Structure 1
Amino acid sequence: MISDRVLFALLRHGVRAGRIDLTLADGSEHSFGPGGEPSVGVVLHDPDLPRRFLVRPDLTLGEAYVDGRMTFRDNDIRSFITFLLRNVRGRKIPAPLARFSSCARWARSWLHANHLGIAQRNVAHHYDISSELYDLFLDDTKQYTCAYFRRPDMTLEEAQAAKMAHIGAKLLLRPGMRVLDIGCGFGTLALTLARDHGVEVVGVTLSEVQLAEARARAQIAGLDGQVTFRLTDYRAVTDSFDRVVSVGMMEHVGLPHLRTYFQKVADLLTADGVALIHYIGRWSPPAAISPWFNKYIFPGAYCPSLSEASRVVEKSGLILADLEVWRGHYERTLQEWLKRFDRNLDRVKQLQDDRFIRMWRYYLQSAELSFSEAFLVIHQLQLSKARGTVPMTRDYLYSARNT
């Protein structure tokens, strides 16, 4: 078939690292690459896959694995994705194609605009699956965001506690302050800030599953009078707050709404307010997220480059008081989540079918490698309304109480 021959030509010229042993649906075997690691074996069970790879490679790869139409030797997803990323990395796109790619990225971003109704549907797609499912791979604090491994020997629970302490310090909290937590998840950060710093917290989410558990956690902790959780979009909030925190939510705003998001943060803050925005960003130039991720995992998501985020921050009137880049933390977090997911696989199988399990494992491993092998990092933007609110040095972050 022509598509087979085209695919072979691409592999012969494109594989510069490792080796791929490819078995087609007709049983024929083909090998490409100079050898060494990563070495992967791939079996295509559908004769139409080579053609589909040429048309929409990223989407086809994920769908073919999840549907069982493509399998890997020893079910080694990690080596396969590593092989792909290492052979794509560093390749320059010809100028005309680069311009076309840029236009296509902007077009896709606007097609996925997260207007109010769409945003709630997108959140439900991922977060309203099953509260118990998240129990099976998250830590006891049930934080579905990057942990902060200040020491290499930290457990996931310790690293999540370290993250919350670090964020609390950067918010410069004082008892009695009002804090807004945008995208509060299962409520752990809001409850921890209230307990440790004596602040009042309002948490907002669009997930009914997360809302119910957050409210239950507040009641159990005896903080339901100090912490309030609302099922509402951040754009609908009209209160005034001394501090705003948002962890792992800005990725879901979407490129068309970045300016709205930061302007809303600015409008909600008091004159001496401080905000801490923690999100998945890129150290590379702007690029859209994987079409497979957008369709199956996080509809409407977009991981902004620093240039995209800083451009809209500048127009909001907020001052970028500090910028922190986390490297190495999210891949470690995702590794821990996958270990726990696999450890509890028997229970997961009682909740979800085999197709979902393949999808979730593909998601966790490809996400991990997007940090370790590709361009993703964590950005923490510390923003203020006034010049003198945030200290001139970072010494306050590393005092004895935060060690």
Structure 2
Amino acid sequence: MTSTGFSRSRVGTRCRSGDDRHLAAAPGAVSRQEPDSAPAPVSPPGGGWVSAAERWLLERLLRRLGNPAIRIVLWDGQELATTDASPAATVRIRDRSALLGLLANPALGFGDAYSQGRIVVEGDLLELLQAVAGGLWSEATSNKTLRARIARWLSRLHGNTIGRSRRNVHHHYDITETFYRLWLDEQLVYTGAYFSDPELTLEEAQRAKMDYVCRKLRLRPGEHVVEAGFGWGALALHMARHYGVRVDAYNLSREQVLYARRRAEAEGLDSLVTFIEDDYRRIAGKFDVFVSVGMLEHVGRRHYRQLGEVIDRCLKPAGRGLVHSIGRDQPAALDPWIKRRIFPGAYPPALKEIMDVFQPRGFSVLDVENLRLHYARTLEHWLDRYQANEQRVAEMFDQPFVRMWRLYLAGSVVAFATGTLQLFQIVFTRPGANNISWTRAWLYEKP
């Protein structure tokens, strides 16, 4: 098992896709067939042939991507191969509009055409994305200064107002609890797990993550914690049950709030945990601890200082906190397909950008940890479970939805495994709060 985890026999993260019914899955892998057939090849008006200009543009795109070891088959039967070696996968482009979309905007064009079945991947989707990832990363970093400036400018064009934040949350998180239950762990934790042992189950690793967060925060019975963005409520309930703290938890997703309240009542924790349907900007009260896991990437770059003001306002003089967020090594705009189809309003910040939450208010950052490989492993589990339930997803939605989420999960595995995305955990305190450990040794001791 390598650190990238693309061929884990136990978890089975090899991802078969499209018209690959004749291909055998790797031992222990889950091979999924699409229940409906993808659209037949289309000959566009004016003939189905591929022009020399179109072929040249496609070859140019492949060169920009570093000539990844893939094979492309066009709708008229023409083939392009970047290497004589065995390709990682075969990509079938079924019509001219799919090709033109790919040439105009590679990420958005591929994502949409793949979801619609107009681009079909024969072979392992993960291996295809891994082969292309290196070229995409080189392309993205070829002019770091200019691209960083563009990314910062784009991130400031639209602020996530409370109304826009609510709409963005509804787009992704209010799909239905039943859908997420098909592939998340039993507690519906939709953030990266912590694999203290690589062989942990997903359920064990998510419990380990929640304990890891609580131990970093040094929670003590009777303390009052505020959580910004609580998902399905697992961490808030875990803190109350195992650490004896009171929790006020804020979230904009109506479905998640109602689910969390039902669970708190069923588990007898509703006297300790209050789930509030509201924006983090409206947090009220004074708290010993602030925690946010997986919310910062949805806050919007323009609002980091405002988040710092909220923390400053609600945290007691000896308070402490933890922020856990997807991020990047350097500022860059989010993948356009992910931003448009999956996470509208999202922005994974560079570490230096995250400091805008803490520095203006004088917070002392004590510890920063990058857990990206843990998130890659988490996503492998999610992808495996999702593929095993694709037929049920198709019955709930449709085949384009099935393919869209398959691509999103597979692409996320590759992004974290290759270092395109990071996962930061940041612990901070008021500057005068010195009742802290001098080392991390206590974190790794058994509770």
Short-chain TM bin: over 0.9
* Matched letter for residue 65 of structure 1: Y
Aligned equivalent of 1:64: 113
The worse-fitting range, judged by mean Cα deviation, of 253-262 and 140-149 is: 253-262
Aligned equivalent of 1:3: 54
Q: Please point out which of 96, 103, 117 is paired with 1:54.
A: 103
Distance in 2 (CA, whole Å) between partners of 1:143 and 1:66 is 26
Distance in 2 (CA, whole Å) between partners of 1:92 and 1:223 is 47
Distance in 1 (CA, whole Å) between partners of 2:289 and 2:141 is 43
2:154 aligned with 1:105, yes or no? Answer: no
Distance in 1 (CA, whole Å) between partners of 2:180 and 2:218 is 31
TM-score, length-normalised on structure 1?
A: 0.93
Distance in 2 (CA, whole Å) between partners of 1:122 and 1:167 is 26
Aligned equivalent of 1:388: 434
Distance in 2 (CA, whole Å) between partners of 1:383 and 1:374 is 25
2:133 aligned with 1:85, yes or no? Answer: yes
Distance in 2 (CA, whole Å) between partners of 1:380 and 1:317 is 19
Distance in 1 (CA, whole Å) between partners of 2:84 and 2:320 is 53
2:361 aligned with 1:316, yes or no? Answer: yes
Give the drift of 1:18.
4.5
Give the drift of 1:17.
5.8
Change (3 A) 1:303 1:34: farther
Alpha-carbon deviations, 1:349-390, whole Å to 9, x = none?
A: 221111110011001000111001242121111010134032
2:266 aligned with 1:220, yes or no? Answer: yes
Alpha-carbon deviations, 1:304-351, whole Å to 9, x = none?
A: 111111244211211101111113101110111111112223322221
Aligned equivalent of 2:386: 341
Give the drift of 1:226.
0.9
The answer on whether the counterparts of 1:20 and 1:40 sit within 8 Å (CA) in structure 2 is yes
The structure where helix makes up a greater share of residues is 1
The answer on whether the counterparts of 2:65 and 2:139 sit within 8 Å (CA) in structure 1 is no
Matches within 5 A, 1:163-242: 163-242=209-288
The worse-fitting range, judged by mean Cα deviation, of 200-209 and 18-27 is: 18-27
Give the drift of 1:290.
0.4
The answer on whether the counterparts of 1:194 and 1:200 sit within 8 Å (CA) in structure 2 is yes
Distance in 2 (CA, whole Å) between partners of 1:381 and 1:208 is 28
Aligned equivalent of 1:250: 296
TM-score, length-normalised on structure 2?
A: 0.84
Give the drift of 1:30.
2.0
The answer on whether the counterparts of 2:69 and 2:83 sit within 8 Å (CA) in structure 1 is yes
Distance in 2 (CA, whole Å) between partners of 1:78 and 1:351 is 25
Q: Please point out which of 331, 348, 363 is paired with 1:286.
A: 331
Distance in 2 (CA, whole Å) between partners of 1:169 and 1:93 is 37
The answer on whether the counterparts of 2:239 and 2:245 sit within 8 Å (CA) in structure 1 is yes
Distance in 1 (CA, whole Å) between partners of 2:316 and 2:140 is 46
Aligned equivalent of 1:19: 69
The answer on whether the counterparts of 2:152 and 2:331 sit within 8 Å (CA) in structure 1 is no
Tell me, what secondary structure is at the counterpart of 1:89?
helix
The answer on whether the counterparts of 1:16 and 1:33 sit within 8 Å (CA) in structure 2 is no
Change (3 A) 1:10 1:207: closer
* Matched letter for residue 407 of structure 2: Y
The answer on whether the counterparts of 1:20 and 1:41 sit within 8 Å (CA) in structure 2 is yes
Gaps of 5+ in 2: 1-50
Tell me, what secondary structure is at the counterpart of 2:352?
helix
* Matched letter for residue 300 of structure 2: G
Equivalences, count: 395
Alpha-carbon deviations, 1:255-278, whole Å to 9, x = none?
A: 111121122112211000010111
Change (3 A) 1:369 1:252: same
2:180 aligned with 1:134, yes or no? Answer: yes
Aligned equivalent of 2:79: 29
Tell me, what secondary structure is at the counterpart of 2:367?
strand
Tell me, what secondary structure is at the counterpart of 1:137?
coil
* Matched letter for residue 88 of structure 2: S
Change (3 A) 1:174 1:374: closer
Aligned equivalent of 1:267: 313
2:407 aligned with 1:357, yes or no? Answer: no
Give the drift of 1:93.
5.8
Change (3 A) 1:369 1:309: same
Change (3 A) 1:267 1:33: farther
2:87 aligned with 1:42, yes or no? Answer: no
Tell me, what secondary structure is at the counterpart of 2:192?
coil
The answer on whether the counterparts of 1:82 and 1:369 sit within 8 Å (CA) in structure 2 is yes
The answer on whether the counterparts of 1:147 and 1:330 sit within 8 Å (CA) in structure 2 is yes
* Matched letter for residue 169 of structure 1: R
* Matched letter for residue 253 of structure 1: V
Alpha-carbon deviations, 1:4-38, whole Å to 9, x = none?
A: 32222342x446464222112222222223535x5
Alpha-carbon deviations, 1:20-60, whole Å to 9, x = none?
A: 22112222222223535x52211111213333323211111
Q: Please point out which of 424, 436, 440 is paired with 1:379.
A: 424
